[in-house]
Amino acid sequence: MALLAPASTVPCALVALTVFRVPTWACLLCFTSYSERLRVCQTFAGMEGPELEKCEEAFTAAFKGLLDTEINYDERSHLHDAFTQMTHSLQEMATAQGSFEVAFPDAAEKMQKVVIQLKEVQACIPPCGLQEVARRFHCRGCYSTVCDLPLDCPVQDVTVTRGGQAMFSCTVNFQLPKEEITYSWKFAGGGLRTQDLSYFREMPRAQGYLARIRPVQPTHRGTFSCVITHDQRPLARLYYFLNVTGPPPRGETELQISFREVLRWAPREAELIEPWRPGLGELLARPEALTPSNQFLLAAIAALASASVTLLA
């Protein structure tokens, strides 16, 4: 069997797999080049002749065990380095007049041990989201895949009494990248419970993963959406349907109700939601609210209180 056409990159490896129908190279084809493989066999068996073909066939057969190997996508560079080191070792053995019939199976066994020691692929966590941490690389075909999950998360129902407070936490149960994460909020009013993006309008003043509405009014009844983005690429869209319950405030007359309905037609701010700005009690009660800026604020308050006590003393 002849060695495959030159393939120094993953796309070229894919072409070789497709055209020559030789899937048995698998990981070897993904992480080594044609010239590297040819050089190894030429060192073992000479520049041409039957022995060279026999070497090529032995090379193919030795790595059949890595055909269906799947690895953590982030571990590709480690595996590539291991294959590079392997080819150098094989050339050294060939130069020392070693046997490829012994060298190839031994090299394949060592590579299987390397694969086992790589960081495991993380499992997909339902029900939604683009989970890059779970991306895996397939040696059969030299390509990668992510979890087959929708970008849109199921709608969460939130019921709040009129005049109360609604809190939304835009968090997911899978690991997000550590940098360049942004959150954007949208609202579909009129009591709609929907995931149709055409009904939503932007709420530019709402920022961060926590947001709240207070006091909640019937006009807030509808669906709020939070989009988690990494480097301008959406990772997940979360939805919250806010249902407002409770009677009108005590003592509200029919004239006041009519007057309020008229005011609804007046120009008003584009957003109904505000970023969550916790008070001192909330900061102490919610550890996740202790951001660096909030910690600095608490330190300043403590210092001011200490200075006041010193002056009074």
User: How large is the average pLDDT for residues 175-188?
Assistant: 94
Q: What rounded mean pLDDT belongs to the chain? A: 81
pTM of the model: 0.68
- What pLDDT band is residue 207 in, cutting at 50, 70 and 90? confident
Question: 95: number of CA atoms within 13 Å, CB side?
Answer: 7
* Range from 22-31, 114-123, 201-210, 213-222 carrying the lowest mean pLDDT: 22-31
Contact 241, 156 (CB under 8 A): yes
Beta strands in 30-161 (DSSP E): 70-72, 136-138, 143-145, 152-161
pLDDT, tens digit, 9 for 90 and up, residues 238-290: 999 999 998 866 655 555 566 566 555 544 444 456 555 656 555 555 555 55
Angle, CA 50 vertex, CA 46 and CA 55 arms, to 5° = 65
What stretch of H or E contains 34?
helix 34-45
What stretch of H or E contains 238?
strand 233-245
| Helices and strands per DSSP (H, E), number in the chain | 9, 11
Please choose, from the candidates 59, 82, 68, the residue with its C-alpha nearest in 3D space to the C-alpha of residue 1.
59
pLDDT, tens digit, 9 for 90 and up, residues 104-160: 999 999 999 999 999 999 999 999 999 999 999 999 899 999 999 999 999 999 999
DSSP 32: S
Q: What percent of the chain has pLDDT over 70?
A: 71
pLDDT for position 144? 96
